[in-house]
Chains A and B, each alone.
Chain A
Amino acid sequence: MNPLPPVDVEPHPWRGLAWLTRRECHRVLKLWKQTILAPVISSLLFMVVFGLSLGDSIAEVNGFEYRVFIVPGLIAMAMAQSAYSNNSSTIFQARNDRYLDDILSAPMSAWQVHLGYLAGGAMRSLIIGVVLTALALPITGAPLELPLELILAVLLTIGGFGALGIIVGVYAQSWDNQSFINNIVILPLIFLGGVFYSVSRLGSPWEQISHLNPLFYVVEAVRYGFLGAADVSPWLSLGVVAAITFALLMWAQVLFSTGHRLKP
């Protein structure tokens, strides 16, 4: 063994963030069968079973073939769930095995740690979104009408659900806690948010009740980007998604800044 003397250098302002981002992406790619392949197959099965098998027996929805109509919602659902589950599991695991200490004691500010953890979920979510889009458009014939609006909707969605994943990962006391939120809260709300149907067909009061579901606006914002049409104004859906995302990001930031539940 040959020890070297200590060095006295100022910490680099952003390199820690770059390495934490790289570590989170490394984890996603290392577990690619679980993090990418499984959700892609699951969403494609929905498209095939509901869109291609049942599509011919269902009349057009809002002027679109059924198999086209469901594509945006299914892609939004896959991306939102992957951003959430990635971040909730990576944070919970780092807390549980206590290797989070190596991050918290490093010369990185709270916002850098926050951004680094968001990046892994965002990358996973974007890969899934791009793969599904590349497969679904030729299979179903769905259009991509407004790419800029779609990109905005997608970024807001993965930011919000990524932040929600971090929050749940910080508060979770067991693996069950985070899957509970996914299975009991996110999945039902997305299904009830009009992935497979247009809420305008529900009639009163169910249509109005559906408008209270925040995930309805996520589906509508992404659908508007793909199809150029939606049940509500794109400004309303983007505005609601942006407001929710902002609130969740602020909440997650407070957790990192104060160390609440991350540090005893």
Chain B
Amino acid sequence: MSQPATITPGNGPALAPAALSIRGLTKRYADGTLALENLDLDIPAGSFFGLLGPNGAGKTTLIGAVCNLIRLTGGEITVFGQPGSGMSARRMIGIAEQEPNLDKFLTVYETLLYHGGYYGMDGGEASERAEQMIDAFDLRAKRDVEAPKLSGGMRRRLLLARALLHRPRLVILDEPTAGVDLELRHELWRYIRGLHEQGTTILLTTHYLEEAEALCDEIALISDGRIVARDTAEGLKLSHGVDSLEDVYLRTVAGGRIAMDRLEEVE
């Protein structure tokens, strides 16, 4: 087992590197859209970090950049001190994307088995881990069913099981509970909380502000490709002089400011 790199400033104690460190990240798409603009972000190891913002703010682009799924225009990413595009960094990340992107030729078991293989597990280890995840996410009855034949909730379970199968140190969850019923949502959060308590760093994007408030140690608000606010939920409310995270959200992000102004005009 390799140990994560450490940073030692002067003669002081060794500091664990951030789980995710982003410097000057810029992404301009081929059509000219500037999705991220010179974005800096550090997520401490072991934290439960929320990333909130309206549609089109740059959340999914940011996640894609961290997971090697988009080409960067500029900037640097490190994961636990390792270069983001390197193999070690990729091994440490698990991602559950917003849209189900499951291999239509594979069953639930095969989806997990092959994913383990892509991440370097041998056959026995990948199989054992796949069976564990099938039980953990209550997929036993669907073990040999192909992905297109699964219900929406089952697909969501499988996406999460796949993201966690190789036991990543940084788990990125992009709207993991979108379209999921209340019971499953609570079940998933219980599991993710458990992971966090075991030392996994979680980066979460969600539109459910109350969930972000309940789960996350820290929250960053992103708008127009930039981080516009960052603090604990309480800190954000205090600094904006409001009672709810929803009000912070409406005041902070661009579209929300307009909505807030209109609300105040009506009042």
Contacts and interface: CB of A to CB of B under 8 A. Distances in A.
Interface string B229-259: 0000000000000000000000000000000
B118 A103 contact: yes
Nearest to B169: A6
Contacts of A7: 1, 166-167
Contacts, number: 142
A33 interface: no
Interface residues of A, number: 41
Interface stretch (B49-57, B175-183, B187-195, B215-223): B187-195
B4 A8 contact: yes
Contacts of A99: 101-104
A148 interface: no
Contacts of A26: 105-106, 110
B69 interface: yes
Given A103-B118, A264-B71, A4 B102 contact: no
Nearest to B65: A263
Interface residues of chain B: helix, strand, loop or mixed (majority): loop
Given A1-B191, A1-B194, A108-B118, A11 B101 contact: no
Interface string A228-264: 0000000000000000000000000000001100011
A259 B71 contact: yes
A218 to B, nearest CB: 30
Contacts of B91: 9-11, 107
Contacts of B118: 16, 19-20, 102-103, 106-108
Interface stretch (B7-15, B36-44, B119-127, B205-213): B119-127
Given A1-B191, A19-B114, A11 B120 contact: yes
A211 interface: no
B70 to A, nearest CB: 5
Interface in B121-147: 121-122, 126, 132, 136-138
Given A16-B118, A26-B105, A107-B120, A4 B69 contact: no
Contacts of B75: none
Given A11-B87, A106-B90, A30 B105 contact: yes
A259 B93 CA distance: 19
Contact of A5 (B69, B88, B95, B167): B167
A98 B60 CA distance: 14
Interface string A9-45: 1111001101110110011001100000000000000
B152 interface: no
B261 interface: no
Interface string B161-176: 0101011110000000
A23 B114 CA distance: 7
A263 B68 CA distance: 9
A94 B105 CA distance: 10
Given A16-B117, A97-B101, A106-B118, A3 B68 contact: no
B266 interface: no
A67 B54 CA distance: 68
Given A16-B118, A263-B69, A109 B87 contact: yes
Contacts of A105: 67-69, 90, 93, 95
A57 interface: no
A264 B122 CA distance: 32
A204 interface: no
Given A3-B164, A11-B91, A263-B64, 9 more contacts: A7-B167, A8-B92, A9-B120, A30-B105, A97-B102, A99-B102, A102-B115, A105-B93, A107-B88
Please list the 6 inter-chain residue pairs (A to B) with the smallest Cβ-Cβ separation, ordered nearest first.
Answer: A19-B117, A12-B120, A106-B118, A5-B198, A98-B101, A107-B87
